[in-house]
């Protein structure tokens, strides 16, 4: 997406910097700042406008933002994901457009599932991680229980990292998805 032009390379560098900063923030504090999300969304709309006509670019950017929001909003409503993660992905999706948002969402979900099981294994032991994962496949409501959805910041999974991986793969390596 960013390869092939100086504009794309500069935009890709800025995008990647914003995404990496979000990951660092999520790891350190389990929060992604609203100011960063707003910056990501505005620059994403500007980028989308820069690669097409004004109307096509705005439509692409807004459609990406809304798609990104709609993908993860149900998971926030269920208490499985933080609001910062949802807003971060929506802002990043303004850069990707709706089809890129769907691809990044799928990649982020897979990476997020692995990250969550690994995090649970690290925090509570492998046996608990396997048990909770197997039970969650049959009864997903267990994921909203107090033992899994603790608000102690050290026990929260930095899911923004998984979402960031999804948007970075789609933006820098689109050929991987279209073989």
Domain ranges of the chain: 6-174
SS3 content of the chain, % helix, strand, coil (to 5): 80, 0, 20
pLDDT in tens, 54-110: 999 999 999 999 999 999 999 999 888 999 999 999 999 999 999 999 999 999 999
- The tokens for 35 are 């100011």
Q: Largest Cα–Cα distance of the chain, in whole Å?
A: 54
Q: How does pLDDT run across 147-157, given as a tens digit for each residue?
A: 444 455 555 78
List pLDDT tens digits, range 1-44: 888 889 999 999 999 999 999 999 999 999 999 999 999 999 99
This prediction has a pTM of: 0.84
Nearest partner of 87 among 34, 13, 22, judged by Cα: 34
Question: Taking the CB of residue 11, how many other CB atoms lie within 10 A of it?
Answer: 21
pLDDT at 55: 94
The 3-state DSSP class for residue 33 equals coil
What is d(CA 124, CA 103) in angstroms, rounded to the nearest whole number?
31
């Amino acid at each position: 997406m960013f390869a092939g032009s100086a504009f794309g390379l500069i935009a890709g560098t800025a995008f990647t910097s914003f995404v990496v900063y979000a990951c660092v923030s999520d790891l350190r504090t389990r929060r992604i700042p609203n100011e960063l999300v707003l910056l990501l969304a505005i620059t994403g709309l500007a980028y989308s406008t820069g690669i097409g006509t004004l109307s096509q670019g705005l439509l692409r950017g807004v459609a990406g933002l809304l798609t990104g929001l709609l993908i993860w909003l149900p998971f926030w409503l269920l208490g499985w994901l933080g609001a910062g993660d949802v807003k971060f992905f929506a802002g990043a999706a303004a850069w990707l457009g709706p089809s890129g948002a769907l691809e990044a969402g799928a990649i982020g979900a897979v990476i997020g599932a692995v990250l969550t099981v690994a995090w649970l294994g690290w925090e509570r032991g492998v046996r608990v991680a396997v048990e909770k994962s197997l039970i969650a496949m049959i009864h997903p409501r267990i994921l909203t229980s107090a033992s899994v959805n603790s608000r102690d910041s050290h026990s929260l999974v930095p899911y923004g990292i998984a979402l960031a991986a999804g948007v970075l793969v789609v933006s820098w390596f689109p050929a991987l998805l279209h073989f």
